Amino acid sequence: MSSHDFDLLVIGAGSGGVRASRIAAGHGARVAVAEEFRVGGTCVIRGCVPKKLLVYGAHFAEDLEDAARFGWTIEGKRFDWATLRNNVADEVDRLNGLYQNTLDNNKVTTLLGHARIIDAHTVEVAGARHTAGTILIATGARPFIPDVPGAEHGITSNEIFHLPEQPRRMVIAGAGYIATEFAGVFHELGTDVTVINRSDTILRGWEPALADRLLQISLAKGLNFKLNCRLVRVEKTDAGLVLHFADGKSIETDVLLWALGRVPQTEGLGLAEVGVALNDKGAIAVDADNRSSVPSIFAVGDVTDRVQLTPVAIREGHSFADRLFGGKAWRVDYKAIPSAVFSNPPLGSVGLTEAEARNAHGEVRVFTADFRPMKNVLAGRNERALYKLVVDASTDRVVGAHMIGPDAPEILQAVAIAVKAGLTKAQFDETMALHPTMSEELVLMR
């Protein structure tokens, strides 16, 4: 047993930190985890989980509208933001408790308070110093707020779950994951939503045909977009906020949401003093085994800015703990990581876009299914789904699958197994269709 207080001290009880703590403790290590906010991290407390619950809540708006075509009469329907907000908050509290139980049941010591690294083996939490053989930084990322006058009048995804009331008008700055997801939620709830973005596209990096489909459907639903714009000033007035743009135009709104990306949370940890190097993105630089420039200090998850997704952070934390405390050396495989945007309708994607595949493989074959889901047809809802398979022509392997349409993320997870396994287009085609489903289109693309 080492002379340190703990074998492992983890900073940050989010997805990566909790998994690393639990696995290391399971291997017999004496583990502590420091957390300055709430156990559970971004995903559970103010990210994926409450967001998904809002997505469910918002989608009733269209379901109830469509219900009439299926014979249902729903009188007096009305939406109450406070009910949804409070119920989501209760669920977050429940999960927060479960995460705490996981730590307690695994005999992981929780240290509440801000952590600062004093030297390669010492961390100070809320004024008390603790030593550890190994330190793991899993502090995640925080929303980026741009340097424009009045930026402080905007809110971020941290605050949006606690809005005192549903805004009548909302402007969302950015057009990535967070922007498109909350645009879908608040538009469905009845807020007048405008998405503003610096470039002329939404969801840059996604298969362009799908991003364009989301844009077209969103426009048809009545969302507003101001692309290719530069916000220069936010002014607070008695009527709300006025956003001033470089082109001289302005927009009035009640709430401004910053959704311009997330930056690694490295401040206040004492990293420079102890010699932990950052990379050019401001993230903690780590090697393939998550080790920083200080041999006893490691980092996983968003603070390393490799792939900002919860399941990736969890796997990095698991791999770290297995390697250091379980004698099991394995590394995270970053190829073919599935990803989804819970917009309305949602998108799912795994592997290469058509352009990426052309760069990587030269000749590719592309298959698309562009169809109106059966439910939308009867509902009289003119929204088409779009599925796209990208195939390496020389091997026939499906190297990318991209979908927009109802339940696309649910379907995509299963497709990701096939893409990860390197299955060929011929094997997709050999698979019997499951009728009538939307996903049968995946095996019917000729």
Residues with active-site annotation: 435
Assign residue 386 a region (left: φ > 0; alpha: ψ between -120 and 50; beta: otherwise).
beta
Q: How far is the CB of 188 from ligand NDP (least distance, A)?
A: 17
CA distance 94 to 5: 31
Contacts by 231-239, CB closer than 8 A, 24 or more apart: 231/146, 231/148, 231/173, 231/196, 232/148, 232/149, 233/148, 233/149, 233/150, 234/148, 234/149, 234/150, 234/151, 234/153, 234/154, 235/150, 236/150, 236/153
SS3 20: helix
By beta-carbon proximity to ligand NDP, the closer residue of 103 and 229 is 229
Residue 361 exposed, middle or buried by CB count within 10 Å (0-12, 13-18, 19+): middle
Minimum Å gap between C-beta 147 and ligand NDP is 9
Report the residue closest to ligand NDP, judged by CB: 176
Q: Report in angstroms how near the CB of residue 175 gets to ligand NDP at its nearest.
A: 4
Name the amino acid, one letter, at 262.
Answer: R
Closer residue to ligand NDP (CB): 116 or 306: 306
Binding site for ligand NDP (CB under 6 A): 146, 174-179, 181, 197-199, 201, 204, 259-262, 308-309, 339-342
Residue identified by tokens 């101001």 is 226
Cβ closest to ligand NDP, residue 105 vs residue 199: 199
User: With 0-12 CB in 10 A as exposed, 13-18 as middle and 19+ as buried, what is 164?
Assistant: exposed
Indicate the residue among 122 and 139 with the shorter CB distance to ligand NDP.
Answer: 139
Q: Minimum CB separation from ligand NDP for residue 372, in Å?
A: 25
**For ligand NDP, which is the closer residue by CB, 133 or 143?**
143
Question: In residues, how long is the chain?
Answer: 446
DSSP 187-234: HHHT-EEEEE-SSS-SSTTS-HHHHHHHHHHHHHHT-EEE-S--EEEE
**Toward ligand NDP, which CB reaches closer, 167 or 348?**
348
- Least distance between ligand NDP and beta carbon 217 (Å): 18
- How many Cβ atoms sit within 10 Å of the Cβ of residue 355? 13
Provide, rounded to whole angstroms, the least separation between the CB of residue 85 and ligand NDP.
19
